[in-house]
Chains A and B, each alone.
Chain A
Amino acid sequence: MITALINQIPVPKDIPLDLPLPEWILVVILIFSFLLHILFINLMVGGGVLTFWYELRGLKNKDYDTLAREIASTITVNKSLAVVLGVAPLLSINVLYTVYFYSANALTGAMWISIVPWVAVAFLVFYLHKYSWDRLADNKALHLGILSIGVFSFLMIPFIFLTNINLMLFPEKWAEVSGFFDALTLPNVFPRYFHFITACLAITGFFLAFWFGRKGYTMNENFKNLSKKTIKKQMLNLALAATGMQFIFGPLLFLTLPTQGVTWGLFWVIAGGVTVAVIVVWQLWKLLNDEKEIVGRRYVWLVVLFTVLVGFMGTGRHMYREDALKTHKQMMAERTATHWKDVQKAHEGLLMPEVETDEGPVSPGEALFNNNCAVCHAANNRLVGPPLTEVVPIYENNSEDLKKWIKEPGRKRMDYPPMAGFPNLTDQELTDISKYLLEEEWN
């Protein structure tokens, strides 16, 4: 049973080049740049969902339509930042987990590459939605329809990323999956997804509370009844509810993690994160009941708390990845070392198969012929070029013309492709070849 399981694990060789930086620096870059990237992704996805929700409510109350429009204008900026900021973590994960990441990419390749056109189209759809607001004011069904394509895309595309990031952690599953949908149904992808989407809503609510609550923001004159205070309250409500929901999705994610990467260290880091999360919820509650309209000190304090929380979770995420891959990384390192010893042996000729040489040494002309000509010319058969029985007699007693032809051939037979020239051969080499050709019996 155990051997059967072990047999399933592919052990490839690692790339035989050093990391460009000490590993820990790359890890810091990865975690930091990833969190920055995911922040804007959160705002982009959450912004999309909220725009949809408020535009829908705007059908009955025009104020919400205005609010939706204001939120929509933040998405297009956030999405641009989300994409460019994604390149640094992509580079870093490529360097740190080359074999794991690329293997997962290949195994889900069709969906993985579809991210490129899909996201491009989703972004275009969001622009179309944003810039057709007035023109489609009388055709809300179509306008909402356009938006729903964009929001649907934003909600689906994360599955592709999460499936990859999950699959790369489990080399033992690589032989089992055929295509994206197999990989999608591995345990842990869905809990990860709910955790992520809920975070999107929490972060977006928290951000928009600031966005509409900040001093510099002057209320759009189209608002009739909706006040700055109400908007702030709704946004904070969302942030609080979504953060609260994480107390369900978080444990669900933790409990469905395959156990091989779960360690006490990870447990304590997650526990630290949970503690901060409790404080976050408590402080959000206080902020919500704060009568002051303008975002103040408590908000800044919450930003700090959120940062710490995300820092804990980001670190935990990395620790789990490292622990889950620990054994496999070791196996891969051993295998790579053995492989390069074998390569060395091969260079010393130790692995050469026994070659039977019963024909004695070959003439220089024959050796040159085998290397340069035999690919296209055989004695009796047509290969790429005509058989030697046909062409050699043309040059009987005329080695000079034969040499000229080999060096710079023309085209005589229209039913064959033109011959490539050999300007690289020296005169001596040409002489050797022509001598071999003319002296050998070709029948």
Chain B
Amino acid sequence: MDFPLFHLDFMGNRMLVALIAIIHVIINHALAVGFIPLVTFLEFRGYQKKQRNAEKGEAWDEVARKLLFFAFIITTTIGALTGVGIWFATSLANPASIGSLIRVFYFAWFSEWIVFVLEVIFIMIYYLTWKKSKQSARNKKRHIIFGFWLSVFSFLTMAIIVGILGFMMDPGSWEAQKTLASGFFNPLYFPQLIFRTPVAMMMAGCVALLYTAFMLKKGNPWRPEILKHISFWILLWMPIAAVGAYTYYWYIPRAMIGNLPVALATQQFQSWYDSLLIVMIVSVAVGFFISILGTLAPKRLPKYLLIIPVLVSFMFLGTFERLREFIRKPYVIGEYMYANGILVEEYPLYQQSGLLKHTPYSSISAITEENKLEAGEAVFNIACTRCHTTHGINSVVVNFEKMYGNQDTLSTDAMKAYMKNMHNVRYYMPPFPGNDAELDALAAYIAEQQKRPQQLEGAQIKGVDVKELDY
């Protein structure tokens, strides 16, 4: 509405955000929150073993260092950039929403940033002082203690961020209370934390297991024992992960159903909820199997199969993040702003006098027979493109075709009737924000798109049209 609109007509804007965000969360969980404690644990075991067998202790220490090196490289490149990338992508995908959120959560983000800076500095110190720490037993001890505190610190980072996220995603409390504390400890806070912590530890174990299996040659005398230790690490967190998953699973409907705006949503929710259960069981079972095998018979651990638990745990986290996203719809900010970036409060104005009249980024003010399709495109741009594409992912044309049983021509009357009331039957859809003439133009545009498909370019390619507004 008030921003030139970036649009990706094939993958969709939300996919862009999801892609960057999920990569970031996976790296954060698997290679930072869960990884640092695991590395410190291995370093500590190496230190213990060194008392009796110097060579062996040295080998353990080296494995721990190499694991940290791997995590260090990935977190300071892809990890850090995808973190910033979430800002970049969300501000392109929905500038109105991120622009509003940032005004309310400036302090939360600012404190998160400070924690983030410290974390990066600490990880650098931990890694860069590793070689020096080998000089004496005293140095090593100090280094291990530093690793321990760093582990605590990265856990706290996650604990803070989970709280902030919970606050931002919790529909309702934002409008009602607008205080940080009330949202920080929302009902899902502790279940989420209990669940995420062991999952991060297990994911770290899976990645470390894979990396170590490839890093150490088959004949390496220390290989079986190290693999065994890492497997045991996964096994150790397994019961906690199972309990955490169950707690979370138990809490979600209790905390969320009440928030779902329409009871119909429960149906949709049920299918998500069921799929979550399956993913949970599969990932816990795979993790359990691999870690039992690794603990009891580390020599028989098939190195190529180790990719499976890594992929499964990523899938697990992906499903989980999607579910979290689910609770927000049709809003992007609970009861304040819809997913299309338009404020709930502004709706009456636009529904009465039209969207196009109020945007500077369209040359059209009044819809005529001649400019109908062009107007329809402009309305589509404002009202739909934050989530939909013309022919790509979540395409309006395909969605309508599916809904109407693949008819050859979409009926504009049927689409108009649908779009006017869709929010009543599809709880996740915001109401149509424009007036009747715009609804008409939009339906005509969609029908035209079915007949003569044409890609819709975003502002990043075709720029913007500008008109003078009366005000």
Binding site for B on A (CB under 8 A): 6-13, 15-21, 76-77, 79-81, 83-88, 90-91, 94-95, 98-99, 101-103, 105-110, 112-113, 115-117, 119-120, 123-124, 127, 174-180, 182, 334-335, 338-339, 342-343, 345-347, 351-353, 370-372, 374-376, 378, 381-384, 415-417, 420-424
* Complex contact A12–B102 (CB within 8 A): no
* Cβ-defined partner of A179 (8 Å) among B1, B103, B463: B463
Binary contact track B350-367/A, C-beta < 8 Å → 1, others 0 = 001100001011000000
CB neighbours of B352 from chain A (8 A): 346, 351-353
B412: shortest Cβ distance to chain A, in Å?
12
Which of chain A's residues has its CB closest to B79's CB? A120
In the complex, A15 Cα to B95 Cα: how many Å? 10
* Complex contact B99–A109 (CB within 8 A): no
* Complex contact B103–A95 (CB within 8 A): yes
In the complex, A88 Cα to B88 Cα: how many Å? 14
Which of chain A's residues has its CB closest to B470's CB? A338
In the complex, A332 Cα to B103 Cα: how many Å? 18
* Complex contact A105–B82 (CB within 8 A): no
Which of chain B's residues has its CB closest to A176's CB? B463
* Complex contact B471–A175 (CB within 8 A): no
Which residues of chain B from 69 to 127 have any CB-CB distance to chain A below 8 Å in the complex? 73, 76-78, 80-85, 87-89, 91-92, 95-96, 98-100, 102-104, 106-107, 109-110, 113, 116-117, 120-121, 124
Please tell me if B403 contacts chain A, counting CB pairs below 8 Å: yes
Please tell me if B458 contacts chain A, counting CB pairs below 8 Å: yes
B32: shortest Cβ distance to chain A, in Å?
13
Known: A11-B360, A417-B403. A80 touches B414 (CB 8 A): no
* Complex contact A113–B16 (CB within 8 A): yes
CB neighbours of B346 from chain A (8 A): 343
Which of chain B's residues has its CB closest to A350's CB? B352
Which of chain A's residues has its CB closest to B263's CB? A424
Q: Which of A79, A95, A334 has the most CB of B within 10 A?
A: A95
* Complex contact A10–B421 (CB within 8 A): no
In the complex, A335 Cα to B359 Cα: how many Å? 11
* Complex contact B353–A15 (CB within 8 A): no
A7: shortest Cβ distance to chain B, in Å?
5
B135: shortest Cβ distance to chain A, in Å?
16
In the complex, A13 Cα to B359 Cα: how many Å? 9
* Complex contact A371–B424 (CB within 8 A): yes
Q: List 25 A-B contacts (CB under 8 A).
A: A17-B100, A80-B124, A81-B120, A83-B76, A83-B84, A84-B116, A87-B87, A88-B113, A91-B102, A109-B92, A109-B459, A112-B460, A113-B89, A116-B84, A124-B77, A182-B463, A338-B471, A353-B435, A383-B414, A383-B418, A384-B404, A420-B267, A422-B263, A424-B263, A424-B264
Please tell me if B254 contacts chain A, counting CB pairs below 8 Å: no
In the complex, A45 Cα to B337 Cα: how many Å? 41
Binding site for A on B (CB under 8 A): 1-6, 16, 20, 73, 76-78, 80-85, 87-89, 91-92, 95-96, 98-100, 102-104, 106-107, 109-110, 113, 116-117, 120-121, 124, 128, 262-264, 266-267, 343, 345-346, 348-349, 352-353, 358, 360-361, 402-405, 411, 414, 417-418, 420-422, 424-425, 435, 458-469, 471
Which of chain B's residues has its CB closest to A347's CB? B348
* Complex contact A105–B348 (CB within 8 A): no
* Complex contact B471–A11 (CB within 8 A): yes
In the complex, A328 Cα to B453 Cα: how many Å? 39
In the complex, A427 Cα to B217 Cα: how many Å? 71
Beyond A13-B1, A16-B343, 10 additional contacts (C-beta under 8 Å) are A6-B468, A10-B464, A15-B103, A91-B106, A91-B110, A102-B91, A105-B6, A105-B92, A106-B3, A334-B471
In the complex, A208 Cα to B62 Cα: how many Å? 32
* Complex contact A94–B425 (CB within 8 A): no
* Cβ-defined partner of A85 (8 Å) among B117, B403, B418, B464: B117
Which of chain B's residues has its CB closest to A421's CB? B267
A169: shortest Cβ distance to chain B, in Å?
15
CB neighbours of A351 from chain B (8 A): 348-349, 352-353
* Complex contact B461–A94 (CB within 8 A): no
In the complex, A421 Cα to B128 Cα: how many Å? 60
A408: shortest Cβ distance to chain B, in Å?
10
* Cβ-defined partner of A91 (8 Å) among B109, B121, B425: B109
Known: A420-B264, A421-B267. A384 touches B348 (CB 8 A): no
A157: shortest Cβ distance to chain B, in Å?
11
What are the 4 A-B residue pairs with the smallest beta carbon separation, nearest first? A109-B460, A424-B263, A12-B2, A20-B106
Interface of A is mostly: helix
* Complex contact A116–B20 (CB within 8 A): yes
* Cβ-defined partner of B6 (8 Å) among A8, A81, A106, A116: A106
CB neighbours of A180 from chain B (8 A): 460
CB neighbours of B463 from chain A (8 A): 107, 174-179, 182
* Complex contact B348–A99 (CB within 8 A): no
CB neighbours of A424 from chain B (8 A): 262-264
CB neighbours of A94 from chain B (8 A): 87, 91, 98-99, 102
Known: A109-B92, A123-B76. A10 touches B361 (CB 8 A): yes
CB neighbours of A11 from chain B (8 A): 360, 469, 471
Which of chain B's residues has its CB closest to A408's CB? B267
* Complex contact B88–A375 (CB within 8 A): no
* Complex contact B418–A375 (CB within 8 A): yes
CB neighbours of A84 from chain B (8 A): 80, 113, 116-117, 120
In the complex, A162 Cα to B320 Cα: how many Å? 38
* Complex contact A343–B124 (CB within 8 A): no
CB neighbours of B358 from chain A (8 A): 339
* Cβ-defined partner of B421 (8 Å) among A110, A119, A371: A371
B324: shortest Cβ distance to chain A, in Å?
22
* Cβ-defined partner of A105 (8 Å) among B78, B88, B109, B424: B88
In the complex, A381 Cα to B121 Cα: how many Å? 66
* Complex contact A10–B466 (CB within 8 A): yes
In the complex, A174 Cα to B358 Cα: how many Å? 18
Known: A102-B3, A174-B4, A179-B463. A372 touches B88 (CB 8 A): no
In the complex, A345 Cα to B350 Cα: how many Å? 12
Known: A80-B124, A106-B3, A123-B76. A95 touches B102 (CB 8 A): yes
* Complex contact B360–A108 (CB within 8 A): no
A61: shortest Cβ distance to chain B, in Å?
28
In the complex, A23 Cα to B281 Cα: how many Å? 51
* Complex contact B421–A375 (CB within 8 A): yes
* Complex contact A8–B403 (CB within 8 A): no
CB neighbours of A127 from chain B (8 A): 73, 77
In the complex, A19 Cα to B102 Cα: how many Å? 9
CB neighbours of B467 from chain A (8 A): 7
In the complex, A94 Cα to B98 Cα: how many Å? 9
CB neighbours of A103 from chain B (8 A): 3-4, 95
* Cβ-defined partner of B471 (8 Å) among A83, A87, A339: A339
In the complex, A10 Cα to B411 Cα: how many Å? 36
Which of chain B's residues has its CB closest to A90's CB? B87
CB neighbours of A16 from chain B (8 A): 343
Which of chain B's residues has its CB closest to A102's CB? B95
B262: shortest Cβ distance to chain A, in Å?
7
In the complex, A427 Cα to B305 Cα: how many Å? 56
B67: shortest Cβ distance to chain A, in Å?
16
* Complex contact B82–A120 (CB within 8 A): yes
* Complex contact B106–A335 (CB within 8 A): no
CB neighbours of B343 from chain A (8 A): 16
